[in-house]
Chain A
Amino acid sequence: MADPRIVIVGAGPAGTRAAEAFVRHGLRPVVIDEAQRSGGQIYRRQPPGFSRPAKAVYGFEAGRAEGVHGAFDALAGSIDHRPETLVWNIQAGAVHTAPAGGGAVGRVEYDALILATGACDRVIPFPGWTTAGVYTLGAAQIALKYQACAIGGRVVFMGTGPLLYLVAYQYAKAGAKVAAVLDTTTFATKLGALRRLLAVPQAFLKGLYYLGWLRRHGVAIHEGVTPVRAEGEQAVTAMVFRTARGQERRIECDAVGFGYGLQSETQLADLVGCSFVYEPHSRQWLPEADADGRSSVAGVYLAGDGRRVRGADFAEMAGELAALAVLHDVGRPAAGDRLAELRRGLDRGLRWGGALQAVFPVPHRFLGDLPAETVLCRCEGVTVGDARRAVDDLDAREINRAKALSRIGMGRCQGRYCGLSAATILAETAGADPSTAMRLRGQAPVKPIPLTQQEVPS
């Protein structure tokens, strides 16, 4: 029998470990990633010509980063790596590609497809969030990690999630002035979840380390805050927030990095027809998969943060496990007890994911109090008030309906930034459970691609 054709989308930790497992078993997968180099988000590599040492770029994660990079580099020649290539569409049996910088589109057929597409920042709008100088935490970190530049000289970091203290720490270490860390989670909430966090002690200790370091270096840290607004006409000049005690405070700054954890990138899973389930804590609809990563569509497997946000270490395991599931399904089962080991590992990942959600709850409650004029969908300029009116005046309680009637999520980001917040606003306005607003349906291209004369790939 001919070798099965394997395609992996994503060359982050999950995609890398999946590719490695296939090569180990004598197969040559195609690995497609938009990025110029492998590594994914956390281990994003510097552009050619940049040469900061791994320790400087990845800190505590330097060892793991080098491990993942080394593993990928060792596959050169044994895999068909297609960097700077966007998968813009999928149809049963083939992915459709477009070069990142424009150029000839392509089509790659597969017998088995692993989607290891990772995650992106979770955004909850606040007044002024579209002012120049306001970034997501992830973007702030990428600027530093990838291009060695800071988003500002006096930066406020705000939100929740593991990235909050990490990015603040990385900025401070790199010499930027961190004006404040505004944590939307209260101390009490964190304390309450302490026991669950201890399930993964290293990560917990790292968090404590960043926090301690920032305190020692005099960075103001406020817990249990509520964002009020970013001020500034041309560019942000201050961040106004309410403290846990309800006092309004104002901090001058020239940049804000904010975010509320991560959300899975699920568009491709949607386009290929995977069934989705509602996850009430994050309020995200996520593609269904069995313990090893088999989706509801035969031949399609899910791994890493694109399936569930559990972080890079578990993404590595999930990638390898999905590859072993493919090998099993194509009749080339892996020998040994690696499978059992990975399943046990991921089981821990499940608990870790739950702990993360408990310690860093997404502050959905902010949405109910947003002033009507707050921009919700930045691509189309749709406000929170427009969304509420879609329900009250147009009876659009479901998000795709609201999209049709009010343009929410209709712009170039396809609702990545506003979709989850919009669903909550619609449901709250209708007095219904947030799951009833459903989810934005994915539409190709998953990211914009240029209109050009093209040969149709055969």
Chain B
Amino acid sequence: MSGGTHAGRYDVIIVGGGIMGAATAFHLRTLYGKSVVLLERGMVGAGASGVNFGNVRRQGRFLPQMPLSHRAREIWGRLPELLGEDCEFLATGGLRVAYSQADMAVLEKHVNEARDWDLHLDLLGQNAIRSRWPWLGPDVVGALMSPDDGHANPRLVAPAFGRAAKRAGVVVHEQCEVADIAREATGFRVTAKTGLEVRGEVLLNSAGYWGGRIAADFGEPVPIVPRGPQMAVTEPLPYFMEPVLGGVSSNIYLRQVKRGNVVFGGGLRGPVETDPPRGRPVPELSIAQWGRVVRFVPALAGVQVIRSWTGVEGYMDDDIPVMGESGTTPGLFHAFGFCGHGFQLGPGVGAVMAELIATGRTVTPIDPFHIRRFESLKPA
């Protein structure tokens, strides 16, 4: 599966081929001409990056993340030009729906604050909603529309970044689990379970939930837990649901793909196994989810659910990711723990991490995500 001529020595070694690792590899190679090797335990983009809900959503985020999110959104619009395919990205608009005055208050506050972060949202009342989306449940009191958000097919995106990176000259090793990372006089030596050994100046830890373990190995532990958001999909239906839907206090989200299937998720996150990774939706949680979906869109009652799934995602205790250079080890960089909202960010994270690694700085502020915020957890 390798496709390069470097004799085991690279500018950058990337551990973890999710959307973060694949997009960073792509940008490092295409924008900065770095020699890069990408090591992935399974297949590129088959983890959280390949099984997520597919929401390309900016509204409702932690606001200091907005510059990163905007940078990502700009890349989403250029996927055909960058990757040669659109990965089914559709800017259908994203709608966050309120069921109570308390929900409405949250939305109103968000509209005002988001303006300062260059995110323009439309607050809609009951009448506007009734006339535009008459199929929404009767107890909706208002909604917030983010017109340029949308959704994409997660199964396609990270693999497409991986293939484009490979075409550009990144060496990609799949089925290649990293077993050991050693710091050397100049850079890192990484050994995989397959026996493969590579050396590099810089190492990017983009190992998703498992990124927490790599950080801990370098003396900077973080509070991260693995969880599985639960997803399911219906049989294909005539296309009717343009915007991606999400709740405010009701944690439910739905989108309809052009083929007609309605994908939905939300509710409690289930437990998952991490070694090896294996997620199975918890049936009780699936059942609880169905009721909420029907409340959201009553017309879906009785429609057939054909499949359910989940995946392993890493959640930090403060619900924001770890991004930036290591606090302990020169040459080590982190981008992991995306807390259930990393898909939209992925292309932007790739651009930002590549810029940071290649130039030592980034125009996009990512300070709030630095690993040093967990300094107090460091071993004495």
Contact = CB atoms under 8 A, between A and B. Distances in A.
A451 B155 contact: no
Given A395-B163, A401-B46, A456 B284 contact: yes
Contact of A451 (B1, B280, B294): B294
A453 B1 CA distance: 47
A443 B163 CA distance: 28
Contacts of A444: 280-281, 283, 286, 307-308
Contacts, number: 84
B307 A102 contact: no
A102 B288 CA distance: 16
B290 interface: yes
A412 interface: yes
Contacts of A350: none
Interface string B173-202: 000000000000000000000000000000
Interface string B80-110: 0000000000000000000000000000000
Contacts of B291: 452-454
A394 B308 contact: no
A104 to B, nearest CB: 10
B340 to A, nearest CB: 20
Interface in A93-118: 96, 102, 105, 107
Interface residues of B, number: 33
Interface in A397-453: 398, 401, 404-405, 410-412, 414, 443-445, 448-453
A450 B309 contact: no
Interface in B295-319: 295, 300-309
Nearest to A271: B280
A147 interface: no
Contact of A412 (B1, B235, B282, B309): B235
Given A91-B280, A105-B287, A394-B163, A445 B43 contact: no
Contact of A445 (B156, B300, B301, B306): B306
Nearest to A413: B306
Nearest to B282: A91
A448 B235 contact: yes
Interface string A322-343: 0000000000000000000000
A456 B294 CA distance: 15
A457 interface: yes
A160 interface: no
Chain A interface main SS type: loop
B211 interface: no
A401 to B, nearest CB: 6
A141 interface: no
Contacts of B293: 451
B300 A453 contact: no
Contacts of B309: 443
B159 interface: yes
A445 B308 contact: yes
A448 B290 contact: no
Contacts of B282: 91
A451 B287 contact: no
Interface in B273-289: 280-284, 286-288
A40 B159 CA distance: 43
A268 to B, nearest CB: 13
Contact of A107 (B43, B283, B302): B283
Given A91-B283, A404-B50, A412-B235, A450 B307 contact: no
A405 B235 contact: no
Contacts of A449: 304-305
Interface of B: 1, 43, 46, 50, 155-156, 159, 163, 234-235, 280-284, 286-288, 290-291, 293-295, 300-309
10 contacts: A404-B50, A414-B307, A444-B281, A450-B305, A451-B294, A451-B305, A452-B290, A453-B290, A453-B291, A453-B294
